[in-house]
Amino acid sequence: MGYDHDGGWGPGAWILMGLFMLTFWSLLLLGAYLVLRGLGGGRGDRGGVAGTESEAERLLAQRFARGEIDADEFSRRRELLRSSG
């Protein structure tokens, strides 16, 4: 008495089911990642709070980092930008 394989699915079906399961979980994790990234506001490589720093403030920070302006001038100009916008 043995196990009859005539009515079974065979190894091809198990491989196919494994591939479908892998695809399903990959798509589910990708979707979760995209949703969480979207909820994070796209902070990416900028750091800080998303949407609070304008392009002008980023340029001002770059000038300060390069040493073109001192800390006092940086603070004054940043406050001026924040009060005008």
Q: How do residues 16-59 score in pLDDT, each as one tens digit?
A: 999 999 999 999 999 999 998 888 765 555 444 455 678 889 99
Residues 48-74 have pLDDT tens digits of: 445 567 888 999 999 999 999 999 999
Rounded Cα–Cα distance for residues 50 and 60 (Å) = 17
Residue type, 35: V
pTM comes to 0.41
